[in-house]
Chain A
Amino acid sequence: MIIKQRCGIITRMVKEEVKVMHRILEKETLASGIKAMIIEAPLVARKVKPGQFIILRIHEKGERIPLTVAQFNPEKGTVRIVFQEVGKTTEHLGTLKPGDTLRDFIGPLGLPMEINLHGGRVVCIAGGAVPIFLEAKAYKKAGNEVLTILGARTQELIILEKEMREVSDKVYITTDDGTYGIKGFVTEALKRIIAEGSNVSEVFAVGPIPMMKAVSEITRPYGIKTLVSLNSIMVDGTGMCGTCRVTVGGNMKFTCVDGPTFDGHQVDFDELALRQKRFLAQEKLSLELFRGKCKKEAVVESRRPTKES
């Protein structure tokens, strides 16, 4: 017997969430292979704080991937994500269009970043296609001077520059090929900032593992507190499986529930780098198969109304 009668006391918020299929509202190409999307996700938008992430799944047979929340709007109930097409799921995601829906969009997950610094000077570093807008903004809001370094291989791949200028006192650009800003890695700019004698109180760095490691090594001799946000492989993202485990200060931590932000001076980056390679062969196969098959078909599949299992 199915009870049709519904309890009126429950506010509409939760009810609405059930119907929301996590629609893609907007899509933007930021650079070649780097895209941003605005997703309808009212509950996530209401709760998310800087430093947190979501887990999404495109379709019923899809994998769960974590993505940092780039921006959010609690009034509109939307969350912005930024992603680089590096594997099957992100490439597939990149083929979706406004109006398409995601099967799951779960969060906010991880611990929010705690900003205890006020009136200091912070260097926020983004290496590649990673969003650090929320964190930089939070540092700014807490009364800090924010120096931002955006690094990429080449000028075309520098993203979110305009947004970052809004929340930064100064923005440094670095490109590996020197087509824009300082020639070299983000560490070049960081070294310069430190060499200029400016008192850096804290560094926040997100990007590829070698970059976060290099940044941490630069700041270590100066004793500058350095926070990094790790992008470990995850499955559930709620502390259940331990695949995202990482060694921090000699202890085992789970990136999903203990992080994703950790003290960069304590993280075993070498171990993390090896762990990120665990499924390389499978990831490659998955991507090849995806590219091999008709992309239209894949898009249709993801659009198909998904049944509750």
Chain B
Amino acid sequence: MEGNKKTVRMRGERQPMPEQGPRERIRNFNEVALGYSEEQAILEAQRCLNCKRPSCIAGCPVEIDIPAFIKAISDKNFLEAIRVIREKNDLPAICGRVCPQETQCEKVCVLAKKGSPVAIGRLERFAADWKAQAEIPIRHKISPNGIAVAVVGSGPGGLICAADLAKMGYQVTIFEALHAPGGVLRYGIPEFRLPKSILQREVKNVESLGVEIRIGMVIGKTLTVPELFSQGYRAVFIATGAGAPNFLGIPGENLNGIYSANEFLTRVNLMNAYQFPEYDTPIRVDKRVAVMGGGNVAMDSARTALRLGAEEVSLIYRRSEAEMPARQEEVQHAREEGIIFHILSNPLRFLSDNQGWVQAMECIRMELGEPDQSGRRRPVPISGSEFIMEVDTVIIAIGTSANPIIAHSTPGLKINGRGYIIVDPKTGQTSLPGVYAGGDIVTGAATVIEAMGAGKISARAIDRHLR
């Protein structure tokens, strides 16, 4: 970096994130990353080159004016920083925590070429948390237009679509199937990565725009999409998430002690099973836990199992670490906490004890062959490399498929061969007039911020449709 004229402003390396130490944090569910201090935030913000033609904004699916909010932080004008962010994003405390910045805004940061981009996500989180501490309400000027729009699902896509529509003056109702709002932010992402209090705060922000959230309403069962129209809603945005857990399809998968990641995390996060018996819902984790998969959900499951008292947690992934879809930070945190990575391994079958509980699993070693459709090198089994691993708890985190409830109950709604809703990507418009969809139920499992991007696109399209 020496010799660059701008190093004067860069002031060295990226500010490290203060964290709970690994030994301490595996014994609690408190947040791992603690957030920047004001001092750190300002120092980090001062690293921004304030490029004339910034590339970071295009790297953000919700188009936050990143240089402007970072400039505000470096000027110590934190309120302005959060105001700039909230223009585009009503869930900044969440995005600052769970977005894969390294593949988005930070990836295209000019400083990334030198290996150390501005910590945009951490600064976003700082601004969002600062605002919450300062308790300064941000007022949006809203002129209600009296037009009702229904949003199905209160996950990130639904929340942001509802927020944007509310700011445009629509009267928005979110229908949530579970008994608490947030979707994957509630049942999927653990407390130690996204505290429920933060989620609640962001949900409140959205509600303060006039959005109403109805819990325990399973659209497709309690009410159908056509019924929403007959009740007076003029447009519907479907953001129900991918929903149904995938299984491996190998022998022994229904043995006791084998969970889908969705079940495991839902028990812990939505139902607070980690506080059993104060909370009624139980969870059972024994000594040796194996998690199948290499994404964020696999990391969350592995780290949750550790916190529930497992002695040894292994991660089984069929490709190499370079292909893991998880955020870098999650992989790093998992490693620090002592998760054992068995890469290039694939399970073949689960073996039972004499009472129907999983006792061991047979795996096979893999090697990487030619690139497949995803562009990643295809894992190929090495014959004769089978091995047995003793396990007593297994968590399967190999992705999700489309939940059938909405598609089955909405005549004329076109879905693809895998059950995902077909939309025009520019608008989110489905095969039915007035019905839009976005997020995982369209794309298959993706990220929080991509779902939010889709929510924003559909909010604009719904506005055009109704005006």
**A interface residue numbers (CB < 8 A to B):** 1-3, 5-11, 13-14, 17-18, 43-44, 47, 57, 61-64, 88-89, 103-109, 235-236, 238-243, 245-247, 252, 254, 257, 271, 274-275, 277-279, 281-283, 285-286, 289, 308-309
Contacts and interface: CB of A to CB of B under 8 A. Distances in A.
Closest 8 CB pairs of A and B: A282-B282, A3-B210, A274-B356, A9-B232, A63-B280, A241-B263, A10-B232, A242-B260
16 contacts: A1-B209, A3-B142, A3-B166, A5-B146, A6-B171, A9-B232, A11-B231, A17-B214, A109-B218, A235-B263, A240-B243, A246-B254, A274-B355, A278-B257, A282-B282, A308-B215
Given A14-B223, A277-B356, A282-B277, A106 B147 contact: no
Given A239-B404, A241-B260, A278-B284, A104 B179 contact: yes
Given A235-B263, A241-B263, A105 B216 contact: yes
Contact of A44 (B208, B222, B276): B222
A108 B224 CA distance: 12
A286 B221 CA distance: 31
Identify which of A103, A240, A243, A286 gathers the most chain B CB atoms within 10 Å of its CB.
Answer: A240
B92 to A, nearest CB: 19
Nearest to A288: B277
A247 B251 CA distance: 12
B277 A106 contact: no
Contacts of B355: 274
Interface in B220-261: 221-223, 231-233, 243-245, 247, 249, 253-254, 256-257, 259-260
Contact of B277 (A275, A277, A289): A289
Contacts of B232: 7, 9-11
Given A5-B144, A236-B178, A62 B218 contact: no
Nearest to B234: A9
B281 A107 contact: no
A239 B244 contact: yes
Interface residues of B, number: 64
Interface in B143-184: 144, 146-148, 166, 171, 173, 177-181
Contacts of A241: 245, 260, 262-263, 266-267
A309 B180 contact: yes
B272 interface: yes
B405 interface: yes
A62 B146 CA distance: 38
Given A17-B214, A106-B216, A236-B178, 17 more contacts: A1-B209, A5-B146, A11-B232, A17-B217, A43-B222, A108-B221, A108-B222, A235-B267, A241-B262, A245-B247, A247-B254, A252-B249, A257-B405, A278-B284, A281-B284, A308-B215, A309-B181
A9 B145 CA distance: 13
A13 B232 CA distance: 11
Nearest to A57: B179
